[in-house]
Amino acid sequence: MRQRIAIYGGTFDPIHNGHWQVAKAIMNCFAMDRLLFVPAFVPPHKRGQQISSPFHRLAMLAVATMNEAQMFVSPVEVEAPERPYTVQTLDRLKAGLGNAQLFFVMGADSFRDVTTWREHQRLLSEYDVIVATRPGYQFGDQGETPIAAHLSPELQTKLVDLSGGQLPSEEDFASPRIYLTDYVEVDVSATDVREIAQQGKSIVNWVPPAVAAYIEKYKLYQKP
């Protein structure tokens, strides 16, 4: 059987319990063989004062996943700042991972913007995508705009609505799909965590324990 590998991209400044619980749930529900966190490079001119160096962000992912045998951090974007687009990252990972089936994981807020991404049609047709719900982003019950309304009719045929905690079926895995999932809903953002840390308050309830210790040790997010 082909290996299933989840690719979870983001800024991760820092990784928080929302990312963590989404990652765990997707590992379990999709019976993934591996999950790779891929921190984005983020060029210095876009960082403002807010975004930590890629090395701190990568280190926090490394300490968070230290005791998880199937979770890894990939430096693929940090090492190639000249190729920042997700579709390029997936192409490079695929080339190195042989016959594996790659599932790109994104939150519902990112999915709303996906049509502005480089080669989004190819990304969504050649790769599996798993969309994780996030508080404030419903999948579209009566009266709401459905979350995938911005996709072309062709891409819409790839949608698999797993809301209500449903699991994917083996038949779904035969060709690339766009899965809508709501396995967990965790109301936290990295912006919240940075603000809490900046106020000198404890962040232990919002990030994995090793990440809280790292932030404290290196005094991230504190006013200079």
Contact footprint for ligand ATP (CB under 6 A): 10-13, 18-19, 22, 106-107, 109-110, 132, 134, 186, 188-191
Q: Which C-beta is closer to ligand ATP: that of 86 or that of 174?
A: 86
The least CB distance from residue 184 to ligand ATP, in Å, is 7
**Residue 187 CB partners (closer than 8 Å, separation 6+):** 18, 135
Q: How far is CA 185 from the centre of its chain?
A: 14
Q: Are 125 and 176 in contact (CB under 8 A)?
A: yes
Q: How many helices (H) and strands (E) does the chain have?
A: 9, 7
Residue nearest to ligand ATP (CB): 107
Report the candidate in 67, 68, 64, 88 with the shortest Cα–Cα distance to residue 76: 88
Whole-angstrom Cα distance, residue 157 to residue 42?
Answer: 33
36 forms beta bridges with 7, 72
CA distance 109 to 139: 11
Instruction: For ligand ATP, give the closer residue by CB, 124 or 153.
Output: 124
